[in-house]
Chain A
Amino acid sequence: MFSFFGRRVNFEMSLCCFQRNFSAALPSLVPVSLPSKKETHLWYVLPDEVKSETLLNQYLEILSPYEKESIYRMHGHQLKKSALLARALVRTTIARYQTNCQINPRSLKFRKNIYGKPEVDWQNDDDWCPPPLHFNISHTSSLVACGVTVDVPIGIDVEEKQRRIKNNILAFAKRYFSHEELQLLASVADPEIQHQEFIKLWTLKVGQEAYVKALGRGFSAAPFKTFTIWTRVETTGDFQHFEALDSEASEIVVESSDDPENLTNNWKFALLDLAGSHYAAICVEKDNSIGGETNAPMSLAVWKTVPFVEDERVSGTGAVVAIGGSVKQF
Chain B
Amino acid sequence: MAAFSATSVTFASSLKLSLKNNVITERTSNLKMVTVGWRKSSFPSLKTNRFRVSCAAKPETVQKVCDIVRKQLALPAETQLTSESKFVDLGADSLDTVEIVMTLEEEFEISVEEDSSQNITTVQEAADLIEKLVEKKAA
| Residues in A neighbouring B102, C-beta threshold 8 A | 167, 171-172, 175
When distances are taken between beta carbons in the complex, the residues of chain A under 8 Å from B86 are 73
Q: Which of under 10, 10 to 19, 20 to 34, or 35 or more describes the interface residues of B?
A: 20 to 34
B18: chain A residues at CB < 8 Å are none
Residue-wise interface mask of B (95-134) relative to A, using a CB-CB cutoff of 8 A (1 in contact, 0 not)? 1001100110000000001110000000000000000000
- Are A167 and B114 within 8 A (Cβ)? no
Chain B contacts for A76, CB-based, 8 A: 76, 79, 91
Q: Is the CB of A166 within 8 A of B114?
A: no
Please measure, in the bound complex, the distance between the C-alpha atom of A314 and the C-alpha atom of B62, giving whole angstroms. Answer: 47
Q: Is A222 in contact with B114, judged by CB distance below 8 angstroms?
A: yes
Would you call B60 an interface residue if the criterion is a C-beta within 8 Å of the partner chain's C-beta atoms? no
Indicate if B50 sits at the interface (CB-CB under 8 A).
no
Known: A73-B89, A75-B79. A206 touches B99 (CB 8 A): no
Q: Which residue of B lies closest to A220 (CB)?
A: B114
Question: Is A221 interfacial (CB-CB < 8 Å)?
Answer: yes
Knowing A76-B91, A221-B113, the reply to whether A165 touches B76 (Cβ < 8 A) is: no
B47 to chain A, nearest CB (A): 24
Task: Verify A159–B95 contact, CB threshold 8 A.
Answer: yes
How many residues of chain A have a CB within 8 Å of chain B?
22
- Interface membership of B35, Cβ < 8 A: no
A74 and B114 contact, CB distance less than 8 A: no
Distance of B8 from chain A, by nearest CB (Å): 38
Alpha-carbon distance between A223 and B115 when the two chains are bound, in angstroms: 10
Which chain B residue lies CB-closest to A78? B91
In the complex, the number of residue pairs spanning A and B with C-beta atoms less than 8 Å apart equals 45
The answer to whether the Cβ of B22 comes within 8 Å of any Cβ in the partner chain is no
Give every chain B residue within 8 A of A175 (Cβ-Cβ): 102
A167-B99, A171-B102, A221-B115 are contacts. A79–B91 as well, Cβ < 8 Å?
yes
Instruction: Determine the chain B residues whose CB is within 8 A of the CB of A202 once the complex forms.
Output: 95
Q: Which residues of B contact A (CB under 8 A)?
A: 71-72, 75-76, 79-80, 85-86, 89-91, 93-95, 98-99, 102-103, 113-115
Asked if A303 CB lies within 8 Å of chain B CBs, one says no
Q: Is A141 an interface residue (CB 8 A)?
A: yes
Residues on the B chain within 8 Å of A74, using CB: 89, 91
Chain B residue nearest to A164 (CB atoms) is B74
- How far, in whole Å, are A163 and B73 apart by their CA atoms in the complex? 11
The minimal Cβ–Cβ distance linking A138 to chain B, given in whole angstroms, is: 9
CB interface residues, A 204-229, toward B, < 8 Å: 206, 221-223
How far is it, in angstroms, between the C-alpha of A179 and the C-alpha of B18 when the chains are bound?
60
The distance in angstroms between the C-alpha atoms of A30 and B74, with both chains bound, is 38
Most buried by B among A159, A167, A176: A167
In the complex, what residues of B have CB within 8 A of residue A176's CB?
Answer: 98
The smallest beta-carbon distance between B36 and chain A, in angstroms, is: 31
